[in-house]
Structure 1
């Protein structure tokens, strides 16, 4: 029938379209979109994907030695390996190795029921998702009291596909003695002598099967690693956000947006000469460019929030910057609760950087004590510091510029009968360098116990507040704290000696830590959460973007680059409106190359999103055809 694409011709058409640019759609599809028979003869995207999966699965079953085919949107060598090994059953110890009260052995694959029958002869398969107490026997011998592996094991059976791997899963909760674990694993390996392929799982293979069977997406798998390595409350919350499928669905929605945008442009390219569109060419291109601009804003926020999420995932780097004997090491010891750094009245005690990881109110921090910054020579020109301390000062400046938060520790010193704020000029120079680098600054005024009792409280006297503001104008008043490490140490000693505690917050150390936590919340707050002028998204939408990993962020940045290239092709330099594209075919032909290139930029951008999720391809012919014929 004229104008109908036959099934046997579809493979050739797909090959031609993949091997050539979208401009060649015109000769690859010698049909008119106005023909109503086309719509009924070509399946929709969902139908075509379903047929493609069914065909590929049956083909693999009949001819496992044949070339790999795309199944469920995957086209990598991992898909081929999974198809060839899909009938095997894997098992492994799911809990940590070693002696424990309980150990969990997990089995996944079609041979779960036969493995259960071998270990528990004569017992029916447990009710799905219900724990059942069973006695496990050695399958190499007839069941008897001498062949018992574990007399009290809990057995759970999960029939697929709604399981963690998408396959039948059997879990054996046995006693955690090393001998019992080894005996149970050897017993499962013995069942491999049957017709079924049973083998020990490779590292990460359970997760890989969950991914191949669409039970977990790549963003969720990355969050699973964060879940297992989370040490603090903020890391746990970040991992929980990423464990949901919110980011996966978001990336797929963005990919679909680019797919439809690209389909509109390709329909414009191939059918503009003989097909009437409801919109003019200029309006259609402007509409696509508007969608892309909106997407650029969202992806840009996600890229920026990814760096904030790294603060939660890898820890916030905090540097203690100040002059010798200002109290940096004492403050470090009070925060971490142990003598992590040497404290001495001798100047230059700390030479190298002392980094200590600490959990501050659920935030993981890398607190760094550094060498005190002071002048290299006196007024007379005499050298007062050695080469080692000089190198320590250089490292201290460098560490401050690499940190996320810089705590400037200054001290109060007696000047006769008065108490003055002691700040070295070299410290001010280092602080100014941090201000120019855009670092977040916090000022801790130490040795406030030298103030009169009436002036020593939760905050500094007004005169000292003004002086701090003159020296550090870039630091807001809510980030200036009065502390006394001496009072805090004396209180700690009195508690250890079982004496009555005098103050609820000795030395204002807890007040300082609460202010530090408030600073962490400010620098790690996701962009867009305080008010999104580009869309109606709530705060949780942007909080989920904190879970964007470094791999996802790098691909999102590449996606942004391609989208910017697209906008440069379709918009003017001095306005946000689309370029004036003529609406007649003869004039449009002159700008055809630009539009084709712009469509390719959309394809490249969608490919970057595909690398994040591991599913689908922006260049799938079925996807593009579905959009073209819908338009």
Structure 2
């Protein structure tokens, strides 16, 4: 913790040199959407927060910590007392606030005019002694980091949580925001440091160890680094799977013409996203629609019906349909119950998809409302032979009366869990910056250790591990030179965060 505090002080001194007023300034920003709403929240943080409260309210009494009060706020400039609004005021005393500084929140009425006038009035309170300025993107969170309220993995988790669109994206962001990621990375860091310490004892007191002792120590360090490497590689694999939650699971509807792909898309979207017609070949191009299904963000692709065609435009649509299905995470193969003469072109491609073990697939038979129950066994018998899969892989639906749709969504949700590994544990996510550092710095440092171990160069092997430690420091914010990282991290935040 001492080292961490020293580094934070070093970081602060750098920022102060770049901008003398950076940490002494009081900053403000609108933290809610800049549009008409019921409430607009204006946040103010910094040493002049209490002064701004008294100047806006005309009160000589300081606000109470974490106690909400209803106050009238005024513009006292030009010797006039102009009422701005009657609003809810919240005050958080340093260090018990989001930023670690005095922090004031004004919950004003959400009219654009009210918000603009209040912001303009705050700007007028700037003085050379107590500078007040508009906050930069992510500055509230940056100050929270500088005041040791959070580490970088936590503030990046907060940003991911803000941008979460679905329930599973929310869950995946929580691990970083709660500090779980920081605990894991610090555990890895401590293990690497212990191994560096062992190597350092040999470097400093090598004459006290015989060759066999040195080799045994080297072997023990090598064994522990191998275990750690496996853990980090497995972690990166989980991250890759969980990343699908943020990007959206790619689901492609594939089938012969007039099978009901566009109808199913409209049902999943609960909107008329695609043109539906009884004329075969209506869909000529692939279209994508982002949806929330079962708490998962998915990107559903509707494609052209696959069949043999002499139409040049339709041929291009079929080509794109095949390409999209090969890039998809899950393919929904749709077959029409009223036409079992499956197109050879589609049949060939469907078998290719089914044999691809990297792809999840679901096979559904649409238009079940047009057949009687006694015919279902005959249909299953024929199609299972054509596709060479068991009968239990098929399910019947009807886009006309919604038969089987609920069961299909349940099946899809089950597949979503499998694709993202969220069926085994809660999904996790870290920033692209952190992923690159794990691969390019931490794991690279391990490779350097292995290389120099083979050369019996204990000094350089130790240096390789030090680069791994520095890599973890870059992720959590415990690295010298962190000012270069901060701009990348906080530039992605909204102004009021």
Q: Give TM-score, length-normalised by structure 1.
A: 0.70
> Which stretch of the first structure deviates more once superposed, 352-361 or 182-191?
182-191
The 5 Å alignment of 1:36-435 reads 46-47=1-2, 53=6, 70-72=7-9, 74=11, 78=15, 80-81=17-18, 85-141=22-78, 146-150=81-85, 152-193=86-127, 195-273=129-207, 275-276=208-209, 280-376=213-309, 385-413=310-338, 421-434=340-353, 435=355
> How far has the Cα of 1:277 moved from its partner?
8.8
Conserved in 2, the CA contact under 8 Å of 1:319 and 1:367? yes
CA distance in 2, matches of 1:370, 1:293: 46
Conserved in 1, the CA contact under 8 Å of 2:250 and 2:329? yes
CA distance in 2, matches of 1:311, 1:76: 40
Change (3 A) 1:104 1:339: closer
In structure 1, list runs of 5 or more residues that go unmatched: 1-45, 54-69, 377-384, 415-420, 489-505, 531-538, 572-590, 620-631
Change (3 A) 1:214 1:81: farther
Q: Deviations over 1:202-239 (max 9, x none)?
A: 12211211122222222222222222222222222223
> How far has the Cα of 1:519 moved from its partner?
0.9
CA distance in 2, matches of 1:349, 1:207: 51
Conserved in 2, the CA contact under 8 Å of 1:305 and 1:548? no
Conserved in 1, the CA contact under 8 Å of 2:289 and 2:300? yes
CA distance in 2, matches of 1:79, 1:563: 36
CA distance in 1, matches of 2:224, 2:156: 29
> How far has the Cα of 1:84 moved from its partner?
5.6
| 2:409 paired residue number | 513
Q: Deviations over 1:499-551 (max 9, x none)?
A: xxxxxxx421111111111111111115xx85xxxxxxxx5xxx35x223333
CA distance in 1, matches of 2:451, 2:342: 52
| 1:482 paired residue number | 396
| 2:492 paired residue number | none
Conserved in 1, the CA contact under 8 Å of 2:67 and 2:91? yes
Q: Secondary structure at the match of 1:552?
A: helix
In structure 2, list runs of 5 or more residues that go unmatched: 483-497
Count of matched residue positions in the alignment of Structure 1 and Structure 2: 480
Q: Secondary structure at the match of 1:520?
A: helix
CA distance in 2, matches of 1:243, 1:472: 46
| 1:563 paired residue number | 446
> How far has the Cα of 1:169 moved from its partner?
0.6
Conserved in 2, the CA contact under 8 Å of 1:324 and 1:373? yes
CA distance in 2, matches of 1:104, 1:388: 53
Q: Deviations over 1:579-609 (max 9, x none)?
A: xxxxxxxxxxxx543x333223212222332
Q: Give TM-score, length-normalised by structure 2.
A: 0.88
CA distance in 2, matches of 1:482, 1:618: 60
CA distance in 2, matches of 1:122, 1:76: 36
CA distance in 2, matches of 1:450, 1:102: 53
> How far has the Cα of 1:569 moved from its partner?
4.8
Q: Secondary structure at the match of 1:103?
A: strand
> How far has the Cα of 1:616 moved from its partner?
3.0
Match of 1:470 among 356, 378, 385: 385
Conserved in 2, the CA contact under 8 Å of 1:88 and 1:197? yes
Change (3 A) 1:223 1:422: farther
Q: Is 2:431 aligned against 1:549?
A: yes
CA distance in 1, matches of 2:314, 2:138: 48
> How far has the Cα of 1:199 moved from its partner?
1.0
| 2:490 paired residue number | none
Conserved in 2, the CA contact under 8 Å of 1:322 and 1:410? yes
> Which stretch of the first structure deviates more once superposed, 232-241 or 299-308?
232-241
> How far has the Cα of 1:72 moved from its partner?
4.5
Using CA pairs under 8 Å that are at least 6 residues apart, name the structure with larger relative contact order, 1 or 2.
2
Conserved in 1, the CA contact under 8 Å of 2:16 and 2:22? no
> How far has the Cα of 1:142 moved from its partner?
5.1
The 5 Å alignment of 1:514-529 reads 514-526=410-422
Change (3 A) 1:168 1:277: farther
User: What value does the CA root-mean-square deviation take over the aligned residues?
Assistant: 2.8
Conserved in 1, the CA contact under 8 Å of 2:49 and 2:102? yes
> How far has the Cα of 1:612 moved from its partner?
1.9
Q: Which of the pair has more CA radius of gyration?
A: 1
Conserved in 2, the CA contact under 8 Å of 1:309 and 1:548? no
Change (3 A) 1:350 1:252: same
> How far has the Cα of 1:48 moved from its partner?
6.2
Q: Secondary structure at the match of 1:71?
A: helix
Change (3 A) 1:226 1:471: farther
Conserved in 1, the CA contact under 8 Å of 2:12 and 2:146? no
CA distance in 2, matches of 1:122, 1:78: 35
Conserved in 2, the CA contact under 8 Å of 1:401 and 1:437? no
